[in-house]
Structure 1
Amino acid sequence: MFFSLAKRQRTGSVTMIQQAVARERLHIDVCGRTWAIERLGDLEALWANLGHGEFGQDERIPYWSELWPASMLLCGWLEENRQAISGKVCLDLGCGLGLTAIVASSFGARVLGMDYEPEALRYARENAVINDVGQPLWTAMDWRAPALKPGSIDFMWGGDIIYERRFFEPLRELFAYALAPQGRIWLGEPQRSVSLPAWQWLADNGWNVRKIVTRPVPTEGYTVTVNLWELSKADCL
């Protein structure tokens, strides 16, 4: 086993709102097939009914209920690297609705789908069933306290996870701790000013950083320009 399980249970206003909101099914055309992804149908109602308690230090804003353009670009990159990830231990950081974890699992990767919100993992698990894909191992985990074995992850990726500066250091620590010596990290990032300093900062802190591609990604009626980055440990080339 490449990690030890650490789960959290919680109840609260967001969960109760979710139970009252109908679902919708999105159809996503990537990697040569159409993927069906279910989520909450009325996202505006969910966001509008958030209580003040959801906006603390550990904010409980349901970002996981969105399908982010960065994940779409990551799916294409996973397909290009399907042979590399097949049979390898992979970590999907902030897996949300589960799209990239499910796609990687369909390519034979041994995927750990990790999210801070247990409710996200319930949707992700059901989405794997809908798409008839072998279940990734879903776990609720805080990346500030990862229940992982050191150097156990061959590949890890995340779609739009560097959207606040306070995430830089805990993510760098997670990368250094969990990534195998010859491992690779792939991060999809919409072009935002807040994440712009992250790449040079990571390079200054012991990482090889390269931009793989910049591409416009159409999704849900609009287009977002997304960068795809690759990280590797500087002392392992």
Structure 2
Amino acid sequence: MKKSALAIVVLLVLIPAVFPLILKAYLAFVPGEMVGGVDGWLGFLGGYSGGFLAFISAYLIYRSDQKQKEKTTLLLRPSLLEATPTDASLIFTTLPVSEVESDSKGELHFKYRIFNATLKNVSENYASNVQLLLCLKSGKLEPWSYNKHVNRNIKYESIATLEANESRVFNIQISEDILATAEEFDFILKSRNMYGQEVVQKVRLHLHLEMKGYTFVHRT
């Protein structure tokens, strides 16, 4: 909306300055007698520029509204509800892949601290293929999750598909060796909208060690 307002202001400044110059150039360089008077042409140009400006303003506002509707916005917040650990937990660990895959009882879910979270789609667009990645110095870390149907941990590629205003409760679990490195952890929240566009959001998990609490802060 800010860009649209700036474009309208620029047009308001340019139109009164440019049209008189065009009229002067016409009088100076076009041969023959001018049809109508200067006042008449100025009145015509004023009415024409006013209508043109109104059209451009309406179009820019329309495009701004459309882009807002096309945008997908997810909100990640701490949850008072608890999800079932073995069904809805994202486990971030630096253990070797072989060791994580060999855990056939989902024991990692009982070893790491649990952060209850609610993910809500607060936009008018739907969000598919929602992913959460933990940003470490070594790179982006994908989560694991215990799948009781195959009785082993698998890479958790998608949290959910969320319709407008739909929410999902799940757990985030981070291994102790990662938690010991800092009090803030950055995540990348990815999703795809109905137009197939990938939307990337930045979220920071802030630990309140003294109060044993935590918050999620969305960043630009």
TM-score (norm: length of structure 1): 0.24
Greater Cα radius of gyration, structure 1 or 2: 2
Higher relative contact order (CA 8 A, sep 6+): 2
